[in-house]
Chains A and B, each alone.
Chain A
């Protein structure tokens, strides 16, 4: 459209940083510095880790494989590839002040929870000088911390799993949070913030109990997250069956990875 900046405008794209080329000055809109939008169709992802390379090339079919071998996920785009329907929710922005020589310095801390309401949740915290930067950083950290949630039944094994399979607890700071299975139709019995969080996890019915200073909602939510994470670390009788050991992705695709590395080092 005629309105938008010409693609080859002097000094760089988007018309920002023209002329002087300093970060964010010279012709920017207010707060434009934080805006460094790469034109919304985000530049293609260039993976940096081995896992990233495998995921980008579609060698790994689902996130279950990653969880099965407990491979650490260091790039958030991996999560985007497997779980495109993640919804993020900013739970709180608090100002945090630090005393410096030149007076006080205020920064903003963002607490973000992310989940697809169907078995995956993550939590992220980030502190930054601008609210938008903090939120963006927290979303990335939340994506990196996504964890699978095991759901089960309270009584009869009918329909879809709807509650935690066993009683699980999580502890963070001085807060202990306990999740107890509930019959269908109970809903989530919890304080509003952990309730939102449990809903993001895909848990439909659950009782919660808490001890400690639940006034620090931050610790409370983190304790709930740890409790949810424990659902898959609890060995129940139906998991007693022997499983066949499979090769982990790095070993399976080692030739592919070696080829990539060789290609890169050709320079």
Chain B
């Protein structure tokens, strides 16, 4: 069928130069050169001809179209001239499918554990091999440690942690207990660890994955606060964008380039760097083909609309957060999963704030020395223990209100900073002397200033000496407790009262069947009604 198209053209060979491609400026020499190649169709079949519109011939033309011959400055391209949509193939056929194996960089932790046990005496550190590919790793695990992990590629994003966790586990448990043994042909014994059959493996995987996910979210958070605000030059043009979100927006609007929302990505700078280096080495991001010059690459990407990355390339997996969420499942599977589980989504109302579980404990510095306790309660305990200074007790004993307690804390901190005792204004030479004095003085000495002292009027004492001083958040006014607590405690008291009365009533009824006591009791408490 192809031949039938070519035959009528044959006689027209002589008039070839007349049938030159529409965009002009093709030198005669290159024309002549083309004649001698078997690729005759680049010259013959015009862009708008019906042959090009034929679906069956799409592939045929693609392989034969010699793009390099056409010289067009990329600014001169006009979309009307370049009616590419008709003969362009479906993107998936263009997409690159075979990639160089994903590089991994890992030092086998199992080797270290091994060597530590055996060569504890030897001073020299054993040389742990640096493994750079997945095949190498599996081979090494099999040869050196007699271990084969099933589905190791699921863990490829957190290989280091996974193997480290296993190294720890194996130092306590022996392999034979948990793995299934098989013998290879050459007589060696190999242990298989499989998540489906070995619960320890499942536990290890879950643990490692959770830790890794949280770590990566922290990385993303720090990125969002710092890196995302830095300006960066666009991958395809000379425009510099102020911050990451405007960079992505520019890429989408001007170049139709989409690698996802910046909120779904992590280590974005690295990601963009990889893409930039690919472009610099004149490789197309989507079909991974190499070209001869930047202009040609550009034209190819524009014609084929390859301003995107190939979704099958596992190299980019580690930049997307969705891959860390459930390792082992490709993002395509998760994507498809989304549609059905959205329907059975019963817990849409999951706006509980309990899930945000984070240690809000702030380290607190003691009032009299440099000791820092991890939390406020511990700090109060410490001061009670070491210096017999119970802040809360002092507060209630001297009936200090909130503001006065704040002032007291600030006064003490200021005096301590100047190595003087706040109660007796005695000056000491150094912090240890002051600490000794405080210890000796005892509770009676460490009293806040008198009620009518002018110190309380000084507004400066209300400004915290240490910023975000946790000790200032530790106490509360007992007087105006919030009504909720009051209500609850008074209700409880009421219930208790009712209970004891009822018990007494029952007792009385048992002792004497006459009910003369009962009405008195009920009259005594009108709230019983």
Contact = CB atoms under 8 A, between A and B. Distances in A.
Contacts of A218: 352-357
A215 B261 CA distance: 32
A39 B254 CA distance: 11
Interface in B300-335: 302, 305, 307-309, 311, 316, 320-322, 325-326, 331, 334-335
A141 to B, nearest CB: 8
Contacts of A189: 464, 468-469, 472-473
A35 B331 CA distance: 15
B325 A108 contact: yes
A106 B267 CA distance: 21
A131 B79 contact: no
Give chain B's interface residue range (CB within 8 Å of chain A). 35 or more
Contacts of A171: 482, 484
Given A29-B309, A219-B353, A131 B482 contact: no
Interface string A89-118: 010111110101001111111010000000
A2 B356 contact: no
A132 B268 CA distance: 14
Interface in A219-241: 219-222
A215 B110 CA distance: 37
A59 B292 CA distance: 62
Contact of B253 (A4, A155, A193, A220): A4
B353 A172 contact: yes
Interface residues of A, number: 87
Interface string B455-490: 000010011100111101111110010101100000
Interface of A is mostly: mixed
B337 to A, nearest CB: 8
A56 to B, nearest CB: 25
A35 B249 CA distance: 10
Interface in B469-518: 469-470, 472-477, 480, 482, 484-485
Given A14-B256, A31-B320, A167-B480, A132 B261 contact: yes
A35 B258 CA distance: 8
Given A26-B91, A135-B263, A191-B362, A129 B256 contact: no
B487 to A, nearest CB: 12
A256 interface: no
A182 interface: yes
Interface stretch (B20-28, B100-108, B213-221, B366-374): B213-221
B77 interface: yes
Interface stretch (A61-69, A74-82, A204-212, A245-253): A204-212
A128 B302 CA distance: 35
B258 A32 contact: yes
B321 A131 contact: yes
B59 interface: no
Contacts, number: 226
A14 B252 CA distance: 9
A175 to B, nearest CB: 9
Given A15-B305, A189-B468, A207-B472, A216 B353 contact: yes
Interface in B209-230: 210, 213-214, 217, 220-221, 224
Residue from the set B262, B347, B476 with the largest chain A CB neighbour count within 10 Å: B476
B341 interface: yes
Nearest to A33: B335
Given A3-B236, A190-B473, A92 B480 contact: no
B406 A32 contact: no
Nearest to A92: B356
Interface string A180-202: 10110111011111010000000
Contact of B356 (A6, A29, A94, A187): A94
Interface of B: 74-75, 77-79, 85, 90-92, 206, 210, 213-214, 217, 220-221, 224, 236, 249, 252-265, 302, 305, 307-309, 311, 316, 320-322, 325-326, 331, 334-335, 338-339, 341, 347, 350-362, 402, 406, 459, 462-464, 467-470, 472-477, 480, 482, 484-485
18 contacts: A2-B79, A3-B236, A10-B85, A27-B308, A29-B308, A35-B258, A37-B249, A92-B356, A95-B214, A95-B325, A131-B220, A172-B353, A173-B354, A189-B469, A192-B468, A195-B468, A215-B360, A218-B353
